[in-house]
Structure 1
Amino acid sequence: MKPRQTPTLELNVPDGFEGAADIATELASQYFGAPMPWQPHLLDVMLATDGDGMYVNSEVGISVPRQNGKSWVVRSRCFDGLMRGEKILYTCHHGDTSDEMFQELKAPFEDDEEEELRDLLKYVRKTNGKQAIVLNNGGTIRFTTRTDSGGRGKSFDVLIIDEAQELTDMQQAALLPAISAGKMHNPQTIYLGTPPGPKCLGTVFANLRKSILKGDSQMAWMEWGATEIGDKNDRARWYECNPSLGIVLELKAVESECNQMAPDTFARERLGWWADDAEVANPALPPGLWAKREVRKAMAGGKLAFGVKFSTDGRTAAISWARAVRGGPSYVELYDVACTDGGTAGISDMLLRNKGEIAAVCIDGKSGADALIQRLGDNAFPKKAVITGSPAIVQAAASMLLDELKDGSLGHIASPALDESAARSVKRDIGAAGGWGFGDGPNSMAAPIESASLALYAARTTKRDPSRKQEANF
């Protein structure tokens, strides 16, 4: 069997631009090796231009299972852009991925035998977190892992978002303005990733794909992926969904994955399967109820409170805020879903910045909660304003949120991450007396909606009433 060299799904890709990347492909082949047949097609889509030299596809999305060689495509696109003087921002989720891409792209410019490239090179900046390659023609590429503020205050022509399945709404909001004023006046955004897993923080990549499938977006989209979980032992599907199987992707490696992975995991990780939005069994909230309470703008007035929910391993935290008027309406909104590998400083800094306005904050989670509470205490956050989560509080908070949704007193704005968490979380039994809380549903996390419930609980139950009334500086 031979691997499929054309995407299993291709949308919004105009005809007639084959060969648009011939020069880029030939150039990249000299430094990064010859491409497989499927790779130049992706470059054609990225580099196709109209009669005015503008990119035909200013937004491109690519989904390919891991280890198939998409890095060759990224290197080639970046290398071509550098030669043409573009300023490129390459972002990813993991530092190792960023460093690997940096090392691969700078190698030709530092090769003693490549005199022409060395003459083009202005400098290479190797400081971690600020790695960059800068050419004399103005071509620049900066490598960075993503943060909620990454890209702010800087201008680029091209934005490459690798590991796009991990991209959050706040990270996207920080990154996109970076290409709004590039000197080339020909911006392009490229998303590269895989179908997100159940614990994935990002929702942007999945929501982009949904919009494309609905016909609501003109983003060029190419993917290799199965349409169902199916029989994981069906090798024909392996070759259908992995364009480099048997070439750079070892067959024995896939056999080992098949032997060890559950069918749905194998389908997602190796066959590029995107889970559908089938109904959730035992949903925590009645279907449609959350969407019914959507409002156009945030509520003003009432007590302000926050809820912070840490994942079991402490590496993820969902933060929401709520307002509640005694005897009146309430409102919840997701502030962020953050990776806490670097600690809880970002969360505590935000809470401390607004401590004069926050009536209370409810913090739950065995891993992470203690560290955050300690940090707040060390920085003079009011002790009476901190509510430590417990099974009883988690139950009460979930029931309170459901009750206020039912009676119509609770509102929220549209928020993809929170909306999905609310719609797809399941009931999680707590204790032996029929108590319940929010649990992770199929391909979704409960942390966002649970943090919202904790914020609402804090706003409703606290007796504190800060006197400052100015807007919170979130």
Structure 2
Amino acid sequence: MLERELHGRQEPRLLTLPPRAGSKVDELLDLLYLIGVGVDPWQEASLDALLSVDDRDQWTCTEFGELVARQNGKGNVILPYELGHLFLWPREDGEPKLIVHTAHEFKTAREAFRRIERIIRSSPLLVAELKGGVRGGISTSHGEEGFELKDGTRLRFLARSKNSGVGFTCDVLVVDEGQQTPISAMDALLPTMSSVPNHQILFTGTVPDELDDSEYFEGVRDRGRSGSDRRSGWIEFSPDGSDDPDLAAGLDIEDRELWEQANPALGIRMKPEAIEDELNRLGRDSFLRERLSVWPNRRPDAAVRLSELNLSAWRDSATPAASVAGEQAVIAVALGRGGGFGTVAAASRFDDDQIAVEHKKTDRQTRWIAPFVRDLKAELGDALVVLDPKNAAAIINDLDKLGVKYLPMNMNEIAGAHGGFIEDVNAGLVPHRDQAEVTASLELATTRSIGNAGMTWEPSDPTKPITHAQAVTWAHWGVKKREAAPPRKPAVVRGYA
């Protein structure tokens, strides 16, 4: 008996929208027809929702998020959306409009630029609207990629960073790779839109893994799924019931109906054989995340207590005002085993009794760490850098070359840092921003003995990183060390001091 042909579900599993009077999607579809760009039914549904307007012809969603698995064609939602804002919908006050496309890495942003560049260059209709034609209206210089129309409307392509919004007043913001969106990047970009009428932000992304800085994207998801924000929208292509932690745990990843529910491009541009290959080569967690977009809601009481740290006390200490800044700050670095990734955290005195901690960045590989620490050290007023020299051996030469000095921690200090951090957290003396990735790391971290010195953090699951837990713990210790007495002269060592 022949297996039936698989077809991806074109309707989203979940769509939440504020009340709307209509949509501008037909205007966009007319433009796409004229320039020869087609969209799948699911992409049209996404654009219809995203381009919803109220009875004043204003965007109903100032924030809209889309979750869809990789290789399904989310780029063909972003591309038409940006073309529409560039060519169809000028600002009502006649001022030039600015659309900004951002990605976690510049190479991704540049690839998006190249795709839209090919479309524009191939259409005389669009070229005619460019300032000075192709030569004047398309910038291909590195870091300046973008388009400009005769009326001054622009589309720019950037990599996200804490400085990426400087100098811009942005009308429309596209956040691609939303699963890798640090709060610091959004802190730089969001103020650029505060004075702009009828602005809009589009987030597109996939389910984050343990190394992604997904705090902001998870907030977009939660606001969208719950409908708690009257200006937020959300669309999600995922298996039925997959936001329920209990149902998600029991999903059969070999069930082809789940493949269809989570992959709208299946049978269009994605073949079942490609998914079969992934099924055989990826672990269960990776397949659920990468191919099925399974992202269960958080369950506050789900964490198993693996250490003496009181997770309820940790959560209760969350406060938006706990960002680390000012003089006497401390930076800590922790590398994953094997050097495949690293985390940077910081801490500073919050008040007479409390020390605030904050996750600054986690990313794959380690070459980024030394320049990042150098820049953060300068930003925080020549902050003290602390690390475990055995853990950080892979980056010591990099720190050396950049002239970044650090204070090495010995075994007794690592154990003391561990015990002191747990004691202060349990006493409610460690305020922090509510960073989901740090909480998850503390939930997953267990402990191990380091000889007679005491205990330190240890992964409870070798596939789940605890570098966030290590880094905030060591940064917290560094503040106390700095205040207790002048620290030892920062040095470069190859082992414990």
Quickly name the TM-score band, shorter chain normalised: 0.7 to 0.9
User: Residue in 2 aligned with 1:181?
Assistant: 195
User: Residue in 1 aligned with 2:334?
Assistant: 309
Q: CA offsets per residue over residues 76-119 of structure 1, 9 Å max, x none?
A: 000111113442100011333212211111113323xx333222
Pick from 411, 414, 435: which aligns with 2:433? Answer: 414
Q: Read off the aligned partner of 1:349 and give its amino acid letter.
A: D
User: Residue in 1 aligned with 2:16?
Assistant: 11
Q: RMSD over aligned Cα, in angstroms?
A: 3.0
Tell me the TM-score normalised to structure 2 length: 0.81
Gaps of 5+ in 2: 1-5, 91-96, 132-136, 243-247, 488-497
Pick from 105, 121, 127: which aligns with 2:116? Answer: 105
Q: 1:274 and 2:295 equivalent?
A: yes
Q: 1:264 and 2:277 equivalent?
A: no
1:435 deviation in Å? 2.7
1:151 deviation in Å? 1.3
Tell me the TM-score normalised to structure 1 length: 0.85
Q: Read off the aligned partner of 1:264 and give its amino acid letter.
A: D
Pick from 43, 46, 60: which aligns with 1:39? Answer: 43
The answer as to whether partners of 1:438 and 1:449 remain within 8 angstroms in 2 is: no
Q: 1:242 and 2:266 equivalent?
A: no
CA distance in 1, matches of 2:375, 2:9: 50
Q: Read off the aligned partner of 1:203 and give its amino acid letter.
A: E
Pick from 424, 433, 450: which aligns with 2:443? Answer: 424
SS in 1 for 2:439: helix
User: Residue in 2 aligned with 1:57?
Assistant: 61
User: Residue in 1 aligned with 2:235?
Assistant: 222
User: Residue in 1 aligned with 2:315?
Assistant: 291
Q: 1:399 and 2:419 equivalent?
A: yes
* Structural mapping, 1:39-438, within 5 Å: 39-84=43-88, 85=90, 86-111=97-122, 114-122=123-131, 123-182=137-196, 185-218=197-230, 219-226=232-239, 227=242, 228-229=248-249, 230-278=251-299, 279-284=302-307, 285-294=309-318, 297=321, 304-312=329-337, 313=339, 315-323=341-349, 329-334=353-358, 336-339=360-363, 341-342=367-368, 344-352=370-378, 354=380, 358=383, 360-364=384-388, 365-366=391-392, 369-371=395-397, 373-374=399-400, 378=403, 386-390=406-410, 392-408=412-428, 410-417=429-436, 420-421=439-440, 423-429=442-448, 431=450, 435-437=455-457
1:200 deviation in Å? 1.3
Q: Read off the aligned partner of 1:223 and give its amino acid letter.
A: E
Q: Read off the aligned partner of 2:396 and give its amino acid letter.
A: D
1:310 deviation in Å? 3.5
1:241 deviation in Å? 1.2
CA distance in 2, matches of 1:42, 1:87: 22
Q: Read off the aligned partner of 1:287 and give its amino acid letter.
A: L
The farther-off stretch of 441-450 and 5-14 is 441-450
**Measured at CA, do residues 438 and 181 of structure 1 come closer, stay the same or move farther in structure 2, by a change above 3 Å?**
farther
CA distance in 2, matches of 1:296, 1:64: 30
SS in 2 for 1:307: strand
Seq. identity, %: 23
Q: CA offsets per residue over residues 264-304 of structure 1, 9 Å max, x none?
A: 21111111100443523343423312123446755999964
CA distance in 1, matches of 2:214, 2:270: 27
The answer as to whether partners of 1:430 and 1:436 remain within 8 angstroms in 2 is: yes
Aligned length: 450
The farther-off stretch of 395-404 and 442-451 is 442-451
CA distance in 2, matches of 1:263, 1:314: 21
The answer as to whether partners of 2:345 and 2:360 remain within 8 angstroms in 1 is: yes
Gaps of 5+ in 1: 467-474
SS in 1 for 2:311: coil
Q: Read off the aligned partner of 1:216 and give its amino acid letter.
A: S
1:59 deviation in Å? 1.2
Pick from 466, 471, 496: which aligns with 1:446? Answer: 466
The answer as to whether partners of 2:278 and 2:287 remain within 8 angstroms in 1 is: yes
1:248 deviation in Å? 1.0
The answer as to whether partners of 1:57 and 1:220 remain within 8 angstroms in 2 is: yes
CA distance in 2, matches of 1:301, 1:159: 30
